[in-house]
């Protein structure tokens, strides 16, 4: 599978710590080595950062404008940022990944071959191997799997929450257009939000539209972040699952 355009979408909200570690340089270094196999574009979606990271990305993009660009959003949360980036992407295949690179960009090599087998969406999976993750995160993950299976389904997928997912151009356009319409383009928020329900909703919509989904194990290493609150995020995730269940019963995803 050669000579295609890969779009890489990276949401960014107050990511100065990760940016200063050189995450964009690492992504650029890897992708530049793959030019003989495919061309690429990287879209960093700044989600209303106020820690200097927007300016940092602007400077990086100015120096690497041929392959990198920045979208500047109001603070809509990760779901809104990813959706905005994907709908602006031009690629034949569109990956969204996290700035912390807990799943390294190199793992894309494990996912791309499955598109030759007729899959429309290929997602990274941490399975039970979540290196470095604290016990509370493991409990949260297992709880999410159990509740999601009960309320939403997606029983053939173990890990809906890994932030490393690739879509074909058509599946990306159809799924993200649908989710944007459902959420009315997303609303401005305050503070950070992990939006656990977003990934579940994406995959439910994709499956409901008839797109074939493949889950593939990837390398993943826990990266410490102050944005994760076990109690708050578990409660928000539960509420989001109930909302998705309600939407299913109302036929909103049909």
Whole-number pLDDT of residue 62: 97
> Residue 108 is inside which H or E element, if any?
helix 108-111
Q: How many angstroms separate the CA atoms of 92 and 223, rounded?
A: 30
Q: How many angstroms separate the CA atoms of 53 and 129, rounded?
A: 31
Distances 106 to 109, 164, 212 between C-alpha atoms, Å: 6, 11, 23
How would you write the pLDDT of the chain (254 residues) with one tens digit per residue? Answer: 678 999 999 999 999 999 999 999 999 999 999 999 999 999 999 999 999 999 999 999 999 999 999 999 999 999 999 999 999 999 999 999 999 999 999 999 999 999 999 999 999 998 655 555 555 555 666 667 777 778 888 888 989 999 999 999 999 999 999 999 999 988 877 666 656 789 999 999 999 999 999 999 999 987 765 555 666 777 888 899 999 999 999 999 98
Nearest to 160 by CA among 182, 177, 179, 141: 141
Report residue 246: phi and psi, to 5°.
Answer: -65, -40
Whole-number pLDDT of residue 38: 95
> Which region, left, alpha or beta, applies to residue 149 given φ > 0 means left and ψ of -120 to 50 means alpha?
alpha
Q: Which domains does the chain have, with CATH numbers?
A: 4-250 (3.90.550.10)
Q: How many angstroms separate the CA atoms of 166 and 124, rounded?
A: 8
């Amino acid at each position: 599978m050669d000579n295609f355009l890969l779009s890489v979408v990276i949401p960014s909200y107050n990511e100065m710590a990760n940016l200063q570690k050189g995450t964009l340089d690492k992504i650029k270094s890897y992708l530049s080595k793959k030019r003989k196999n495919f061309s690429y574009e990287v879209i960093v979606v700044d989600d209303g950062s106020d820690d200097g990271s927007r300016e940092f990305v602007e400077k990086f993009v100015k120096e690497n404008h041929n392959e990198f660009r920045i979208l500047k959003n109001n603070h809509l949360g990760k779901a809104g940022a990813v959706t905005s980036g994907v709908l602006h992407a031009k690629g034949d295949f569109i990956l969204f990944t996290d700035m912390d690179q807990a799943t390294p960009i190199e793992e894309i090599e494990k996912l791309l071959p499955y598109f030759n087998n007729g899959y429309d969406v290929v997602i990274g999976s941490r399975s039970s191997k979540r290196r470095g993750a604290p016990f509370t995160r493991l409990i949260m993950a297992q709880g999410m799997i159990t509740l999601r299976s009960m309320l939403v389904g997606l029983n053939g997928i173990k890990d809906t929450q890994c932030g490393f997912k690739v879509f074909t151009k058509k599946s990306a356009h159809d799924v993200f257009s649908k989710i944007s319409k459902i959420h009315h383009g997303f609303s401005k928020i305050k503070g950070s939000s992990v939006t656990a329900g977003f990934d579940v909703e994406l995959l439910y919509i994709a499956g409901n539209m008839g797109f074939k989904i493949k889950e593939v194990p990837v390398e993943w290493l826990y990266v410490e972040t102050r944005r994760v609150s076990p109690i708050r995020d578990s409660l928000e995730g539960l509420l989001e699952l109930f909302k998705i269940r309600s939407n299913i019963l109302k036929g909103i995803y049909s």
